[in-house]
Amino acid sequence: MSEVLEKAKRAKLAAAELAKLSSGIKNKALQIMAQALEAQTDFLIKANKLDLEAAVQSGKPKAFIDRLTLNEQRIKDMADGLRVIKDLPDPVGETGAMWRRPNGLQIGRRRVPLGLIGVIYESRPNVTADAAGLCLKTGNAVILRGGSEAIKSNKAIVKVLSQASYEAGIPEGAIQLIEDTDRASARELMRLNGLVDVLIPRGGTGLIKAVVEEATVPVIETGVGNCHIYVDGQCDRDTAVKIIINAKTQRPGVCNAVETLLVDRRIAEEFLPVVIKELREKDVEIRGCEETLKIVPDVTRATEEDWDTEYLDYILAVKVVDGIDEAIRHIGMHGTGHSEAIITDNYHAAQKFLDEVDAAAVYVNASTRFTDGFEFGFGAEIGISTQKLHARGPMGLNELTTIKYVIYGSGQIRK
């Protein structure tokens, strides 16, 4: 029996037991797991250092190294995320509505766990803790398959979390990590119909495309973030610069970082030299349209491919547009439905952007970097869904449950 099949079977058995547990046991486990992460900080950083050394030797870019890195603050953030999840209401067992039919049947809609959740992700070790915590709170078992570049970090995190959770009363097998990082193990996980109830990919375009196309189990499409900021002709220029710098450079290797800047032609000649100067001081490469090159001649010429690229790096595409309508059209053609923002002082422009842009998160005068489960008050997220069925946007506790109808009768039969 393969590692994938063996661990999936163990997790499926654990899921049945986990679904029965009280909120008290689950919350106790989350508290102990958070404490264990902090207590084992040195152990986790030591394991992560081995992954980082290998990544540097293989020439991985700066943004990739940032995604991979664990330090004391990031481990504390993972632990705090588990504590926030602990303090949130448990959706399992919640009856959202109940009604009585003319025949006397009383029908209710109750939230229940999905079952066994598979997560395929790349080199962000914090996903390991977020996924484990969210799944545990919602009564789901989880089987994790991370990228090879973070395998030592992921093994260390799962060792700490699983031991802590089992000591608190969580059934053994509820948190599983596939240690085989060969692509064959990912493909096997994608096709475990009857064991895996839903698969959630987290990573770049290539990973998500592969999972969506190859999986036979249900998939929730997440994460690809070709995010835009449109700077309207009526806006506070200093605010616009501040937001753009944050959205591009605060953490460029994540899916909610901005990848394309759209600037209203009315202010382009004045605004572009200022913002591009600020971006270059942060080591951002600019790829501009023809109009951008006329204003700032020494930027790299953008290609058609640039408008569709999620760089996850210190690169920004810049395009001058003829107002908000062209900006919305451009986003509609090239966006991935993740996060889009407008910088404007015009109320009507703001409302038009909110109404007409089709994305999971649409911002007025704020950085796209806020599209995040923790920032939205969910504690963490298992992914940011860019699809429209079942879940959209940061996926917290409610999105990891489904519905069961419960019906109370008194001997009714259908005629």
pLDDT-derived band at 208, boundaries 50, 70, 90: confident
pTM for the predicted model, two decimal places = 0.83
| Average pLDDT, integer, range 333-358 | 97
128: domain CATH number? 3.40.605.10
**For residue 104, what pLDDT is reported?**
96
Establish if 384 belongs to a structural domain.
no
Q: Are residues 270 and 195 in the same domain?
A: no
What is the overall mean pLDDT for the chain?
Answer: 94
Q: Taking 90 as the threshold, does the pLDDT of residue 283 lie above it?
A: yes
Q: Are residues 52 and 197 in the same domain?
A: yes
Q: Are residues 181 and 277 in the same domain?
A: no
Q: Are residues 62 and 190 in the same domain?
A: yes
Q: Taking 80 as the threshold, does the pLDDT of residue 316 lie above it?
A: yes
Q: Taking 90 as the threshold, does the pLDDT of residue 387 lie above it?
A: no
Q: Are residues 211 and 278 in the same domain?
A: no
Establish if 386 belongs to a structural domain.
no
| Average pLDDT, integer, range 300-313 | 95
Q: Are residues 213 and 262 in the same domain?
A: no
**For residue 64, what pLDDT is reported?**
87
Establish if 88 belongs to a structural domain.
yes
Over residues 109-158, the pLDDT tens digits come to: 999 999 999 999 988 899 999 999 999 999 999 999 999 999 999 999 99
Establish if 104 belongs to a structural domain.
yes
Q: Are residues 275 and 349 in the same domain?
A: yes
**For residue 265, what pLDDT is reported?**
97
**For residue 356, what pLDDT is reported?**
98
**For residue 207, what pLDDT is reported?**
85
**For residue 142, what pLDDT is reported?**
98
Q: Are residues 209 and 330 in the same domain?
A: no
Over residues 244-279, the pLDDT tens digits come to: 999 999 999 889 999 999 999 999 999 999 999 999
| Average pLDDT, integer, range 214-231 | 91
Establish if 85 belongs to a structural domain.
yes
Q: Are residues 95 and 155 in the same domain?
A: yes
**For residue 63, what pLDDT is reported?**
79
Q: Are residues 263 and 336 in the same domain?
A: yes
Structural domains in the chain (count): 2
**For residue 96, what pLDDT is reported?**
83
Give me the sheet containing 141-145, strands edge to edge.
Answer: 175-177, 141-145, 116-121, 198-202
Closest CA to 123 of 155, 157, 150, 153: 150
Q: Are residues 173 and 212 in the same domain?
A: yes
Q: Taking 90 as the threshold, does the pLDDT of residue 381 lie above it?
A: no
Establish if 61 belongs to a structural domain.
yes
Q: Are residues 150 and 117 in the same domain?
A: yes
284: domain CATH number? 3.40.309.10
Establish if 383 belongs to a structural domain.
no
Domain that holds residue 133: 3-220+395-408
Establish if 389 belongs to a structural domain.
no
Over residues 53-96, the pLDDT tens digits come to: 999 999 998 878 988 999 999 999 999 999 999 999 999 999 98
